[in-house]
Structure 1
Amino acid sequence: MSTFEPGLCTVTFRSLPADGIVELAVEAGLAAIEWAGDAHVPPGDEPVARDVGRLSEKAGMATSYGSYVAPPTDDLSVFRRALESTIALGASNIRIWPGTRQRDSKDYSTGERHAAAAAIRDMGAEAARHGVTVSLEYHPQSLTDATDSAHSLIDAIAHDNVYLYWQPRPGLPLGDALAEVAQIGQHVSHLHVFAWDAGRNRFPLKSASDYWRAVLTAMPASRWTGRRFAMLEFVANDDPAAFLEDAETLRQIVKG
């Protein structure tokens, strides 16, 4: 089993203040927080990023920056604003979206895919100059909404500072999930973890414990060499009590 530590994406609690999220993460025994760029750490607001970074560091939390930069729609100047917040936060990783948001990968021309890969490659190089890794969201309606598309994209980017996240599309059968991680797992940095069905109904993570144990057990060795986090993303009813239960489940899953 690949070694992952438990973490939290703060989009799970958009309405909570940063200090309340840190308190919850500490209570839950988590190791990392991915701070949302559309909620808690706006891109370009370095004072806020520094304040949140200090809160996280004091609590012993590693940090990642969950941006919504979407190349090639967003260019290098937009990325730099998000990168500035990443650096001020003290995060070692920035998440971006591959391709225009809300657009299926099958709708891209070859030229558009090349443009996206080139833009992401430039962002990976820019981040590398500051010691920050770049990871691509693995999500429906993006260039990583299908395994073949994600694999061809990361090959086209061809930059050793750009990685993939992984998460299952809602309702993805376990057999398909295992096939996906077998194909792209060597490029995976971190995971987003949740228990949803195909209708995007949310369930306690405990109901998907066997699913996630199987995925982590099957995850192949990765070229990623840093700490790896399996980060909770959304819980039933956005309920802190449900989050604490899911966090305990996640801690047990990553223990193996």
Structure 2
Amino acid sequence: MTEQNRPSAPEDAPGRPPAGPGTGAPRLGLCSVTFRRLPAAEVARSAADAGLEVVEWGADVHAPPEEPDTVRAVREVTDRFGLTCCSYGSYFRATPGELARFPAVARAAALLGAPRIRVWAGGTGSADTPPDERRTTVTCLREAGRIAADHGLELATEFHSRTLTDTVASTARLLDEVGADNVRTYWQPPLDVPDAEALAGLAELGDRVGAVHAFSWWPGNTRLPLTAREDLWAAVFRLLHGREIEALLEFVPGDDPAVLGREAGTLRRVAAQRPIPQPRVQP
């Protein structure tokens, strides 16, 4: 079957649950960096075949901001396979030398139809960053947020080691310092952090989380099937219940496209679980 004659994603994936704006349900998707070596059309095909709804396109390989024709082509394959671009995964690290290039990043996100740009909060950990460097990163994020707002976009920082969002406390402080309504954060399980501690951090960040990156690593960056930490992800979705948020698969075991359907099925199953009813307290 040719790509041009291929059915759209909903027909390819009849098990996809209804979600999206207005439903209060998480939208499930894929980060394109998971399959950096594949062409964008193959990434979109794989996501659609797995019954996913949204994709975060990465700026490093699939949608470079300095190549608008490439970005338009990625938008076209996104539409062709019945997907929505939920985020543009930029590698902007909020340094002064990068600010001149950020308008091109914002234009690329707009071309993709992405409502959000994922960015990085500097290049050193919160404990190792001098105060003046932290202030510089805050200023750059604030200016990037202003540029994004001019395009109707929001920013979300990667929740990641060796950045100013390497802890929940530093992330919350950073967002307070930036002080922009359109700047939030992503969340993902910190490496080697027990489930209860990771979940407490997600709960503390609350509505400041715009999306989560879903994977199962333990120990370190050993990539396991999502089922290996299914209890964690079931608890994540209980915390996110009722919120319109994206959960994006990232870095599947072996970087193997053949396991995406299995991983998406696990994500869909745990996302569909109902929250545990709480006992009513008698007056």
TM-score range, shorter chain: over 0.9
Please give the root-mean-square deviation of Cα atoms over the aligned residues, in Å. Answer: 1.6
- Structure 1 segment 54-133 matched on structure 2, within 5 A: 54-63=76-85, 64-100=87-123, 103-133=124-154
Which whole-Å CA distance do the structure 2 matches of 1:149 and 1:13 have between them? Answer: 31
Deviations, residues 41-64 of structure 1 (Å, cap 9, x unaligned): 112211111110011122221112
Secondary structure class of the residue paired with 1:253? helix
- Give the one of 228, 239, 251 matched to 2:256: 239
Residue in structure 1 matched with residue 6 of structure 2 by the alignment: none
Deviations, residues 24-50 of structure 1 (Å, cap 9, x unaligned): 011111010001111111122111111
The AA in structure 1 aligned to 2:194 is P
Residue in structure 2 matched with residue 255 of structure 1 by the alignment: 272
Contact 2:25 2:245 (C-alpha < 8 Å) held by counterparts:
yes
TM-score by structure 1 length?
0.93
Which whole-Å CA distance do the structure 2 matches of 1:74 and 1:162 have between them? Answer: 20
- Structure 1 segment 1-256 matched on structure 2, within 5 A: 3-63=25-85, 64-100=87-123, 103-219=124-240, 227-256=244-273
Contiguous gaps of at least 5 residues in structure 2: 1-23, 274-283
Report the Cα offset of residue 220 of structure 1. Answer: 8.1
Deviations, residues 127-178 of structure 1 (Å, cap 9, x unaligned): 1111111111111111111111111001101100101000011222111112
Secondary structure class of the residue paired with 2:132? helix
Which whole-Å CA distance do the structure 1 matches of 2:113 and 2:89 have between them? Answer: 13
Describe the shift of the 1:73–1:242 C-alpha distance in structure 2 as closer, same or farther (beyond 3 A): farther
Contact 1:44 1:84 (C-alpha < 8 Å) held by counterparts:
no
Secondary structure class of the residue paired with 1:145? coil
Which of structures 1 and 2 has the bigger CA Rg?
2
Deviations, residues 181-225 of structure 1 (Å, cap 9, x unaligned): 121122000000000013211111111111111122124887xxx
Report the Cα offset of residue 73 of structure 1. Answer: 5.0
The AA in structure 2 aligned to 1:148 is A
Contact 1:104 1:141 (C-alpha < 8 Å) held by counterparts:
yes
Which whole-Å CA distance do the structure 2 matches of 1:42 and 1:19 have between them? Answer: 15
Which whole-Å CA distance do the structure 1 matches of 2:170 and 2:96 have between them? Answer: 18
Which whole-Å CA distance do the structure 1 matches of 2:231 and 2:253 have between them? Answer: 19
Report the Cα offset of residue 3 of structure 1. Answer: 3.0
Contact 1:73 1:99 (C-alpha < 8 Å) held by counterparts:
no
Contact 1:195 1:204 (C-alpha < 8 Å) held by counterparts:
yes
Contact 1:104 1:142 (C-alpha < 8 Å) held by counterparts:
yes
- Between the two structures, name the one with larger relative contact order (CA 8 Å, sep ≥ 6): 1
Provide the aligned length of Structure 1 versus Structure 2.
249
Secondary structure class of the residue paired with 1:75? helix
Which whole-Å CA distance do the structure 1 matches of 2:169 and 2:83 have between them? Answer: 34
Which whole-Å CA distance do the structure 2 matches of 1:82 and 1:129 have between them? Answer: 13
Contiguous gaps of at least 5 residues in structure 1: none
Secondary structure class of the residue paired with 1:76? helix
Aligned-pair identity in percent equals 37
Describe the shift of the 1:74–1:3 C-alpha distance in structure 2 as closer, same or farther (beyond 3 A): farther
The AA in structure 2 aligned to 1:49 is V
Which whole-Å CA distance do the structure 2 matches of 1:214 and 1:48 have between them? Answer: 39
Secondary structure class of the residue paired with 2:30? strand
Which whole-Å CA distance do the structure 2 matches of 1:120 and 1:7 have between them? Answer: 26
Deviations, residues 219-242 of structure 1 (Å, cap 9, x unaligned): 4887xxxx4210000011111122
